[in-house]
Structure 1
Amino acid sequence: MTDKPSEDSSISDEAWQKFIEDAERDRATAPKEPSARARMVTERLRQQDARGEEPAGWRTGPARQEMNGRAARRRRRWAIIGVPLAVAVAVVAVRPSLIPGDPFGTAAPSPNGVAASPLPAETAAPTAAPGAADPAVPTVARPFAGSPAERWADGRAGITLPKATPVGTLSEQQVEQALRQTEKLLVDGNLDPATLRGERPETALAVIEPRQKELLDVLTTALRKPDKDHDPLRMFSRFDPAEVKLAGDVVKTRGRMTFKAGEQASVAVHADYTFVYPLVREGSNEVARTIIRRVLDIEVSDPNKYRVTPGKIAVVRYDQEIGNSACDVYDGYLHPHFRSEPRTGATPTGPATDPYDRSKDIDADRAEGCGVVSRT
């Protein structure tokens, strides 16, 4: 049928080619006779459908019709809520606190125990004391309730280091080491569980420049035999384990660390941190909080120019403010006051201060003697 016509045919080449194409198209679209097997399967399915049966097989499984019904309903529901869902996602992206339960941690503190969103790291001195927190009473389950510290970082996470850069003749690595050693002094002296229960803070002592013999002697005496002139609390946080223990295992921390070029080819590191300790007595669920703000000034000089020990830090200044601890007690431990018990130690005589106020330098407006705190 595809042979070319003879030369004496009256049909032109173009007409013959069109005839061939039309014939091929008609052949492809012509209805085909189903095979015998196809006819048998079709008839069996028709009969089962007439009886209300459904054929078994890998596509179905048990309760196929019920499952199909649920799937269809789900598809319809998604089709209906599709547009509102897109709008809701857009709204939540702007105001995530609208979601019940606050899965993104953006809700403010509330007296009903809803978790508070964490504060961003402190990068500069605040302009004022933190506002009033919710009036909830602290419990063992929620020891920072009613405190601004509920939104502070936990323990070591609150000690964030600035990015190290070269300072004078000191390299970036040397500055980084100075920052890390300052961090070790803070962590071991104020957060390590062994130190908190009165053990010797070996790591903290080990980072101090050995040539600072007078300072190390004072600290060693204070830890071994504390008195008014040798008080380990000036550098370290310690509680008498026979008297109190932490309510849980979290100490809240907030502050900042900075550095700049110092004198004598050195880097000067300034650390200013506040630690909040929730405490309970044995056999009691009452929670008391002690708040300590510590300021450290550290220097690390170029070992190529000065007689210093590489990897060690020189403590230029260490200062502290303590809130809610017995006055004029020099046994080397902090003694928090519990509201249900009579106060121990000397009676506070100074003006009331806010231990959470980090907006002023620790030396500004400091009152002499032992004062009271406006909140814990």
Structure 2
Amino acid sequence: MGDPREPPEGTPDGGSGNEDEYRSVVFDESFVRAARIQELSARERLGGHYPRAVRPRVFLGPFGSLPRQAVALLLLVAMAFAAAVYFGVSSPHRLTAAPTGNQLTVSLVALSPVSPVAAVADTKNPFAALPSGYADGSAGFGVPAPSATEHFTKAEVTRALDVAQSYLTAADLSPAVLVQGETGEVRSLITPGEQAQYDQSINNARDDQHHAATGWLVRFDPGQVALASDVVKVTGTMQVTEVDTGTLEVTTDHTFVYALRPAGTESPVLVSLFSVRRELRLEFDRADIGAGHLRVVDAVEQAGPTTCGTPLADHFQPVLATRGPVPAAPPASPAPVNPGDHAHPAWQLCGVLG
């Protein structure tokens, strides 16, 4: 009998029969995946879009054995990562973000009286002796007519001036802030990048040029001082300029005069006047303008009558008129300073109230 493995008709001419040199080759999965060509699927052959029955395989190195979906997913992840890196480096917000941290710099100047503080003559009209030019409250702000700047529209300038007025009203005119310890309204107008510094100044005021509560607002110790009138007299000016293409600056220079009396006293009372000059530099970027916030950059303040050396960082501490014997007059000039004494800050300033 013939070999059962051979065809009944015998080995075809030109065939190799049992001696086929490729009979030992095993066409396993790795062999198929490594092939340079790939047979079309039945669906692709029926579609008639391919002129040949096979197509070349794209060589992807170690990724060639992965399914198409996995390769596509890897490509998408790579593209998303590259986009994130690109936009993270080149984003304009990264270049123009508002500064954060200790932005406010404060200079406090105590003004010492040259004679005992006298009470006002008319308690019903405590500001009668003031010179002309003072107005009631915000009427004395001297707000300029808004106009467009080179890089800011009239609407943006108007908005910045409105926010600046709101800040001055809350920080310098509000009885709740002046003598009741309210701080939230002022905080709501400050840009978020400065709110941590503001909180530190309110909760732990210190005379280090950055954390004086009185650099942000005017306030008096309610245990010592009360308002004799809710009216505050104001005179001063406001100016608008550009710092750069993305920053608007509002500079304010105002003198506020308060009618004060000792806390807990009953009528008849002695009323004294206390003056605070505040020169502020306020900055706005477009995000601040849109959100109704401002950045307080500098505050230079003169306050009196008060005694030299009195801490002013937490509250202003006025020298008030008193009854009884006339107290001795304070020194007519600031006390001498010993440069070797490091118990007091080097920037502590004092002047004479004129």
TM-score normalised over the length of structure 2: 0.54
1: CA distance between counterparts of 2:226 and 2:289?
39
2:277 matches 1:293: yes
Amino acid in structure 2 at the alignment position of 1:370: C
**Following TM superposition, by how much is the alpha carbon of 1:186 offset from its aligned partner in structure 2, in angstroms?**
0.9
Going from structure 1 to structure 2, the CA distance change for 1:188 and 1:329 (only over 3 Å counts) comes to same
1:246–1:278 contact (8 Å) kept in structure 2 = yes
1: CA distance between counterparts of 2:320 and 2:289?
46
Which residue in 2 is equivalent to 1:110? none
**Following TM superposition, by how much is the alpha carbon of 1:173 offset from its aligned partner in structure 2, in angstroms?**
1.1
2:334 to 350, 361, 367: 350
1:280–1:287 contact (8 Å) kept in structure 2 = yes
Secondary structure, in 3 states, of the residue corresponding to 2:222?
A: coil
2:191 matches 1:209: yes
Which residue in 1 is equivalent to 2:128? 145
Going from structure 1 to structure 2, the CA distance change for 1:180 and 1:136 (only over 3 Å counts) comes to same
Amino acid in structure 1 at the alignment position of 2:197: V
**Following TM superposition, by how much is the alpha carbon of 1:181 offset from its aligned partner in structure 2, in angstroms?**
0.8
2: CA distance between counterparts of 1:259 and 1:193?
28
2:160–2:289 contact (8 Å) kept in structure 1 = no
Q: Could you say what the CA RMSD is over the residues aligned between the two structures, in angstroms?
A: 3.0
Gaps of 5+ in 2: 1-117, 336-346
**Following TM superposition, by how much is the alpha carbon of 1:310 offset from its aligned partner in structure 2, in angstroms?**
4.0
More strand by share: 2
For 1:235-274, what per-residue CA distance to the aligned partner results, in whole angstroms no more than 9, with x for missing partners?
A: 2111122222112221100111111222143222111111
**Following TM superposition, by how much is the alpha carbon of 1:146 offset from its aligned partner in structure 2, in angstroms?**
2.6
2: CA distance between counterparts of 1:329 and 1:277?
19
2: CA distance between counterparts of 1:295 and 1:330?
16
For 1:302-351, what per-residue CA distance to the aligned partner results, in whole angstroms no more than 9, with x for missing partners?
A: 44xxx99743222222221112134322472222212436889x967439
Secondary structure, in 3 states, of the residue corresponding to 2:202?
A: helix
Which residue in 1 is equivalent to 2:320? 338
Secondary structure, in 3 states, of the residue corresponding to 2:349?
A: coil
**Following TM superposition, by how much is the alpha carbon of 1:220 offset from its aligned partner in structure 2, in angstroms?**
1.3
Which residue in 2 is equivalent to 1:369? 349
Secondary structure, in 3 states, of the residue corresponding to 1:211?
A: helix
2: CA distance between counterparts of 1:268 and 1:295?
13
1: CA distance between counterparts of 2:201 and 2:311?
13
1: CA distance between counterparts of 2:129 and 2:238?
27
1:226 to 183, 186, 205: 205
The number of aligned residues is 217
1:326–1:343 contact (8 Å) kept in structure 2 = no
**Following TM superposition, by how much is the alpha carbon of 1:222 offset from its aligned partner in structure 2, in angstroms?**
2.3
Going from structure 1 to structure 2, the CA distance change for 1:169 and 1:330 (only over 3 Å counts) comes to closer
2: CA distance between counterparts of 1:156 and 1:293?
15
**Following TM superposition, by how much is the alpha carbon of 1:137 offset from its aligned partner in structure 2, in angstroms?**
4.1
Secondary structure, in 3 states, of the residue corresponding to 1:370?
A: strand
Which residue in 1 is equivalent to 2:243? 262
Which residue in 2 is equivalent to 1:318? 299
Secondary structure, in 3 states, of the residue corresponding to 1:147?
A: coil
1:136–1:146 contact (8 Å) kept in structure 2 = no
2: CA distance between counterparts of 1:235 and 1:180?
18
Which residue in 2 is equivalent to 1:92? none
Amino acid in structure 1 at the alignment position of 2:204: K
2: CA distance between counterparts of 1:348 and 1:333?
24
**Following TM superposition, by how much is the alpha carbon of 1:163 offset from its aligned partner in structure 2, in angstroms?**
1.6
Going from structure 1 to structure 2, the CA distance change for 1:369 and 1:315 (only over 3 Å counts) comes to closer
Going from structure 1 to structure 2, the CA distance change for 1:329 and 1:315 (only over 3 Å counts) comes to closer
Secondary structure, in 3 states, of the residue corresponding to 2:311?
A: coil
1: CA distance between counterparts of 2:298 and 2:257?
22
Going from structure 1 to structure 2, the CA distance change for 1:221 and 1:347 (only over 3 Å counts) comes to farther
2:181 matches 1:199: yes
Going from structure 1 to structure 2, the CA distance change for 1:140 and 1:177 (only over 3 Å counts) comes to same
TM-score normalised over the length of structure 1: 0.51
1:154–1:250 contact (8 Å) kept in structure 2 = yes
1:350–1:368 contact (8 Å) kept in structure 2 = no
Going from structure 1 to structure 2, the CA distance change for 1:267 and 1:159 (only over 3 Å counts) comes to same
Taking only the aligned residue pairs, the percentage that are identical comes to: 27
Amino acid in structure 2 at the alignment position of 1:226: A
2:278–2:301 contact (8 Å) kept in structure 1 = yes
Going from structure 1 to structure 2, the CA distance change for 1:312 and 1:245 (only over 3 Å counts) comes to same
Which structure is higher in RCO with an 8 Å CA cutoff and minimum separation 6?
Answer: 2
Query: Pairwise mapping of residues 1-376 of structure 1 onto structure 2 (< 5 A)?
Result: 137-148=120-131, 152-212=134-194, 216-229=195-208, 230-281=211-262, 282-283=265-266, 285-303=269-287, 310-327=291-308, 328-330=310-312, 332-340=314-322, 349-350=333-334, 369-374=349-354
2: CA distance between counterparts of 1:227 and 1:136?
31
2: CA distance between counterparts of 1:326 and 1:254?
24
For 1:166-216, what per-residue CA distance to the aligned partner results, in whole angstroms no more than 9, with x for missing partners?
A: 22332211111111111111110010110001423322222222123xxx3
2:170–2:186 contact (8 Å) kept in structure 1 = yes
Going from structure 1 to structure 2, the CA distance change for 1:278 and 1:191 (only over 3 Å counts) comes to same
2: CA distance between counterparts of 1:369 and 1:225?
21
1:235–1:319 contact (8 Å) kept in structure 2 = no
Gaps of 5+ in 1: 1-134, 352-366
Secondary structure, in 3 states, of the residue corresponding to 1:321?
A: strand
1: CA distance between counterparts of 2:181 and 2:331?
29
